[in-house]
Amino acid sequence: MLFGTLPVWARAGFSNPKPRMPHVLSGSGKITAILWANPLLSPPPRDHSNKILWVARAADSSGSDLLISAQRMNGASKIGSPVVRRLIGGPGPSIINMPAAGCWRFTLRWAGRRDVIDLRYVANR
């Protein structure tokens, strides 16, 4: 996770010309996850949500959904079963909760594109 200036292509809608936010850039750089909750928590907290703003590098007006297949990982080893989420209408604002703390590898598919991003969820005690 980076806490720094968002990529130029991910700044639409921000009033600051160089917004600084916690974010994670995908492996191929096709999409970024801007984290409004930092850290992301599992189970989700009662006083705020695990809000993630997904911003795709290339604009898409098809309205295709963002499909997320998430797998908890320990290094290169998979832990448990994958979890599936769907964001209707494609990249944008979302609340993404995971069933357990740990590093989650998200395989993202939208508008004929595919990329991978790792997000860490911290135990909410």
pLDDT in tens, 92-102: 999 999 999 99
pLDDT in tens, 2-42: 789 999 999 999 999 999 999 999 999 999 999 999 999 99
In terms of residue numbers, what domain contains 48?
Answer: 2-123
Number of domains in the chain: 1
Q: Is 120 exposed, middle or buried (0-12, 13-18, 19+ CB in 10 A)?
A: middle
CATH value at residue 55: 2.60.40.10
pTM: 0.94
